[in-house]
Amino acid sequence: MAAIDYAGIRDGLKTILNADALTAASRVYVEEEPQFGMADAGGGVIAVFSDGRTPDPAGQPLANGKRTNYHVNHTLWVAMFNMESFKAAADARDALLANVELVLMKDRTIGGKVAASWLEGGQMFSARDGGTNTFVAAGEIKLVAQVSAINA
């Protein structure tokens, strides 16, 4: 039996992001919300969350109940901070967001954990942290991974 390795997919994303020079300077968090010291994260913050799973829209194969295909959904949030302006924070966010997308595109199987993966956009926002008087700009990346559970 081959169950879907949900934790392995998340851990694989962290491994990929930590290993690539484009994103290695960022702090990567998996299924946790960074609470302290984010404003001093010069390389930015990347947070990975599982969002759920849906049946493959192409349908399920006739396999006598032996195979189930899913699309597993993850959200990656990228955040950058700047003491001077929204623009500087947004420019840094855009650069890190682009780098994360490039890193994810390099390994569409997430280290062999999924059959395929692709990006489906996401939201962006900017705000001012009143506590630290820091500007923060964040961007969301929606990642979908195609997986199968096989009951042999």
Domain ranges of the chain: 6-150
- Note the pLDDT of residue 2: 82
The tens digit of pLDDT for each residue in 97-121 reads: 999 999 999 999 999 999 999 999 9
Nearest 5 degrees, angle CA 94-CA 99-CA 100? 100
Taking the model in full, what pTM does it have?
A: 0.89
Q: What CATH number was assigned to the domain covering residues 6-150?
A: 3.30.2000.10
Radius of gyration of the chain (CA): 17
Residue with tokens 């990346």: 141
Specify the pairing of strand 134-150 against strand 67-82.
Answer: antiparallel
25 CB neighbour count, 10 Å cutoff: 12
The tens digit of pLDDT for each residue in 4-57 reads: 999 999 999 999 999 999 999 999 999 987 666 666 666 799 999 999 999 888
